[in-house]
A and B are shown apart, each in its own frame.
Chain A
């Protein structure tokens, strides 16, 4: 898909912006904290209606305002010219697509895929399991409302069970909540297992394209327990109940899952070189791109937040080549990119304002 125009109002530090794009690559240049990342963040919201940076949409609304608005005009492979308007309020959000109000989030998900490359991505390889889980959860739920629902139900039931454990409630009451918890856990594990298999094959393929390709790369689901049925989880939660009452918290379940990243069968976090780890991060994002493309048949927008400068020339060349020619790239940086990355439509960013640079010589 192609983003033709984006209009923002009261989004973070951007009071108002109205940007029209005609080329396939846009570059937003400026000092830090001027609004470059906020713009990419706003564009990213059209995918799953939440931010890739903030856990709470309320943080996206300019301080002192009651509503932030994002309007996008998109040229879409399946829907033709589309207009999406998202209003974020302190008490929720409202989405219209071509003037029609979206009632169910599940009907919307998977329509407008975007993939973000950011300097935070290093944590996907080096950081704690939380980051990998969150990345996989957002990847799967951006395309699948059923997964999002299972996940929300799981977390709701988990919070309920934990509240009972803290209170030292009766076994029967705890057991009553283990039932929906077990049902949701079984769904989450099944969907993660299937999703990780598909994404894992994309990761391996992408890694061999960007890295020198000698070592095999494996992305694998590492569940807390590979239990696929409600009955198995019920039994598991019941068995853990005594201990959980002591810890006052649920000590087993998919909220403790992880995903392993292996290079030549050894954990990349501990044994991968700096360069291998960087390639792996790119491979994860390329896999996400491929997954979205396969799931919804749409070429995702690529949002590169201050990362182009971090790549060495050889890796960057391979990465760039592996993106394919149809994708639109919106990138930020404190300096303009190297000439080998093609022609860009350039915008100067300062204090939440965006000024298009008159077309100059190539670059």
Chain B
């Protein structure tokens, strides 16, 4: 193979879920089998890298200052659902049961893996909670040690009054996250959320 090919393959291999074999297959596919598609891919990457960023309010993917959900006037901004990752948000949206807005932490506290509060999108959440716009915070974090600790950390830092905190989890298998639950389970998990303190 050529040096440029190897460079491309190395880059591909760093993507999540791709090993040596699959990155080689993709590189060959792009360069040998479907070279016409390559231009489109490069263009899409370039466009996305310029226009896609984090929503300044909630951390979701956005193309402007705000994401589509934060900008939607029909959503209830006083109801904020806190999730670990963007795919969790997508899963909850797919369940169709939720009319509030979100806050994406981009992870959860994990001392073993070196994830501290400053590595998460936490200050923005606390600022939202303190601004008075939030009436209820729904914690939709995974049902395990780190998820539980992150929920507790959030409640420790909330203003003393004014924000109701609930936690989903009913119906979620122990240790599981939002992403792997089906829509029906997520819907009932949202409806059966309980007060959290």
Are B156 and A159 in contact (CB-based, < 8 A)? Answer: no
Residues of A within 8 A of B116 (CB): 169, 173
Residues in B neighbouring A177, C-beta threshold 8 A: 109, 111, 145, 149
Contact between B153 and A160, CB atoms less than 8 A apart: no
* C-alpha spacing A177/B151, complex, angstroms: 10
Q: Which B residues touch A172, using CB under 8 A?
A: 153, 156-157
Q: Is there a chain A Cβ closer than 8 Å to B99's Cβ?
A: no
With contacts A149-B174, A159-B112 known, is A180 near B156, CB below 8 A? no
Does B150 make an interface contact (CB < 8 A)? yes
Contact of B111 with A164 in the complex, beta carbons under 8 Å: yes
A160 engages B148 (CB within 8 Å): no
When distances are taken between beta carbons in the complex, the residues of chain B under 8 Å from A157 are: 145, 149
Nearest opposing residue in chain A for B150, CB measure:
A176
* Interfacial residues of chain B within 162-197, with CB under 8 A of chain A in the complex: 174-175
| A361 CB → nearest B CB, Å | 57
Contact B148 A179 (CB under 8 A): yes
Verify if A175 is at the interface (C-beta below 8 Å from B): yes
- Given the interface contacts A172-B157, A177-B149, does A160 sit within 8 Å of B117 by beta carbon? no
**Max chain A Cβ within 10 angstroms of own Cβ: one of B116, B150, B152:** B152
Distance in Å: Cβ of B141 to nearest Cβ of chain A: 12
Which residue from chain A places its CB closest to the CB of B175 in the assembled complex? A149
Q: Are A160 and B146 in contact (CB under 8 A)?
A: yes
Please, which residues of chain B bring their CB within 8 A of the CB of A57?
none
Q: Are A163 and B156 in contact (CB under 8 A)?
A: no
Chain A contacts for B152, CB-based, 8 A: 175-176, 179-180
Q: Which B residues between 93 and 113 are near A, CB-CB below 8 angstroms? A: 109-112
Contact (Cβ within 8 A) B174 A160:
no
**A153 and B144 contacting across the interface, CB-CB below 8 Å:** yes
8 A Cβ contacts from B104-129 to A: 109-112, 116-117
Bound together, the chains give a CA A179 to CA B111 distance in angstroms of 15
A159 to B114, CA, bound (A): 12
B-contacting residues, A9-39, CB 8 Å: none
How many residues in B have their beta carbons less than 8 Å from beta carbons of A?
18
Whole-angstrom CA separation of A160 from B150 in the bound complex: 12
B111-A167 in contact (CB<8A): yes
Chain B residues in 8 Å Cβ range of A87: none
CB distance from A246 to the nearest CB of B (A): 18
Asked if B156 contacts A160 (CB within 8 A), the reply is no
B interface footprint on A146-178 (CB within 8 Å = 1, 0 otherwise): 000100010011011101100101001101110
Instruction: Annotate A127-160 by CB proximity to B: 1 below 8 A, 0 otherwise.
Output: 0000000000000000000000100010011011
User: Nearest-CB distance from B28 to chain A (Å)?
Assistant: 26
Assess the B145–A176 pair: CB atoms within 8 A.
no
B114 to chain A: closest residue by CB:
A163
Measured CB to CB, the nearest residue on chain A to B146 is: A160
Beta-carbon contact of A180 and B148 below 8 Å:
yes
User: Contacts of A163 on B, CB cut-off 8 Å?
Assistant: 111-112
Most buried by B among A160, A164, A172, A175: A160
Task: List the B residue with the shortest CB-CB distance to A167.
Answer: B111
Chain A residues whose C-beta falls within 8 Å of the C-beta of B148 in the assembled complex: 179-180, 183
Instruction: Give the chain B neighbours of A179 by CB distance below 8 A.
Output: 148-149, 152
Within 8 A of B (CB), among A232-281: none
Nearest CB in chain B: distance from A145 CB, A: 10
A175 touches B111 (CB 8 A): no
Residue of A nearest to B174 (CB): A149
Q: Which residues of B sit under 8 angstroms from A183, Cβ to Cβ?
A: 148
Give every chain A residue within 8 A of B157 (Cβ-Cβ). Answer: 172
Q: Which of A159, A164, A167, A176 has the most CB of B within 10 A?
A: A176
The residue from A153, A169, A180, A184 contacting B111, defined by CB atoms under 8 A apart? A169
Q: How far is the CB of A186 from chain B (nearest CB, A)?
A: 14
Complex interface: chain A residues within 8 A of B174 (CB)? 149
Kindly state the separation between the CA atoms of A75 and B145 in the bound complex, as whole angstroms. 40
Q: Which B residue sits closest to A156, measured CB to CB?
A: B145
Instruction: Please give me the residue from chain A that is nearest to B148 by CB atom.
Output: A180
| B159, chain A: closest CB distance, angstroms | 15
* Cα–Cα distance between A35 and B145 once the two chains are bound (Å): 40
Which chain B residue has the least Cβ–Cβ distance from A145? B174
A183 to B151 Cα, complex, angstroms:
14
Closest residue of A by beta carbon distance from B117:
A173
Bound form: Cα–Cα A34–B111 in Å: 44
Q: A173-B117, A175-B156 are in contact. Are A160 and B144 (CB under 8 A)?
A: no
CB pairs A–B below 8 angstroms (29 shown): A149-B175, A153-B144, A157-B149, A159-B111, A160-B110, A160-B111, A160-B146, A160-B149, A161-B111, A163-B111, A169-B111, A172-B157, A173-B111, A173-B117, A175-B152, A176-B109, A176-B150, A176-B153, A176-B156, A177-B109, A177-B111, A177-B149, A179-B149, A180-B145, A180-B148, A180-B152, A181-B145, A183-B148, A184-B145
- Given A180-B148, A181-B145, 6 more A-B residue pairs with CB atoms under 8 Å apart are A160-B112, A172-B157, A177-B111, A177-B149, A180-B145, A183-B148
Residues of A within 8 A of B (CB): 149, 153, 156-157, 159-161, 163-164, 167, 169, 172-173, 175-177, 179-181, 183-184
Q: Give the interface of B toward A (CB within 8 A).
A: 109-112, 116-117, 144-146, 148-150, 152-153, 156-157, 174-175
